[in-house]
Amino acid sequence: MPLGERWSRRGPLLPALLLVLVLTQLPMLVTVYYSLQSRNLLRPGETAFAGLDNYAAVIGDAHFRGAVLNTVVLTASVVLLAMALGTALAVLLDQKFLGRNVVRTLLITPFLVMPAAAALIWKHAMFNPLFGILNWVLSPFGVERVDWVSEHPMFSLILMLTWQWTP
């Protein structure tokens, strides 16, 4: 294929490619530049090159290690539970039964709920310590009312995110 013909086919893509590069890579490069600077927000004019000192300080911080551990536990739990539930639901929905299409549609609806709205629904309707559905379901079994979000935040997040992202 001649060079002119290749450019005539690829040329129209160049503006879109340039836009994507400017909108994604330029902010990333600016972020890397700022991360290598020592800045004082009380005195914005005083900046100095810090190199990798900022990264060393973050990695050495005990709170950072705890945050990384929480992120790994949350991500692994949600992914494993969502995949297990998704596989189980797929096996069950592979069977022919009356109303199968309706059930499939209902199972997809959590994907349509925005994450912020889902968090509010779970916080106020499901996890509420006074009138939440979870406490209402557990009360006949003698379980005391629990403030799930305050006392068990990781469990609450795992449950909510698993519901949100189970295919």
Same domain assignment for residues 146 and 80: yes
What is the structure's pLDDT at 10? 84
Show the low-confidence residues of the chain (pLDDT under 70).
1
**How far is residue 42's CA from residue 64's CA, in Å, rounded to a whole number?**
24
Query: Residue 145 in contact with residue 139, Cβ under 8 Å?
Result: yes
Pick from 163, 143, 141: which is nearest to 77 by CA? 163
Supply φ then ψ for residue 47, to 5 degrees.
-125, 150
Same domain assignment for residues 73 and 89: yes
Stated pTM of the model: 0.72
State the CB neighbour count (10 A cutoff) for residue 142: 6
Q: Containing domain of residue 9, as a range?
A: 3-57
Same domain assignment for residues 83 and 44: no
Same domain assignment for residues 52 and 75: no
What is the structure's pLDDT at 161? 93
Pick from 74, 81, 157: which is nearest to 119 by CA? 157
Same domain assignment for residues 31 and 44: yes
For residue 91, what is the domain's CATH number?
1.10.3720.10
What is the structure's pLDDT at 86? 93
The string over 146-157, giving b where at least 16 C-beta atoms fall within 10 Å of a residue's C-beta and e elsewhere, is bebbeeeeeebb
What is the structure's pLDDT at 158? 96
Residue 70 amino acid letter = N
What is the structure's pLDDT at 1? 67
Same domain assignment for residues 19 and 40: yes
Same domain assignment for residues 87 and 159: yes
Residue pLDDT, tens place only, 81-124: 999 999 999 999 899 989 888 988 888 888 888 889 988 999 99
Number of domains composing the chain: 2
Same domain assignment for residues 49 and 74: no
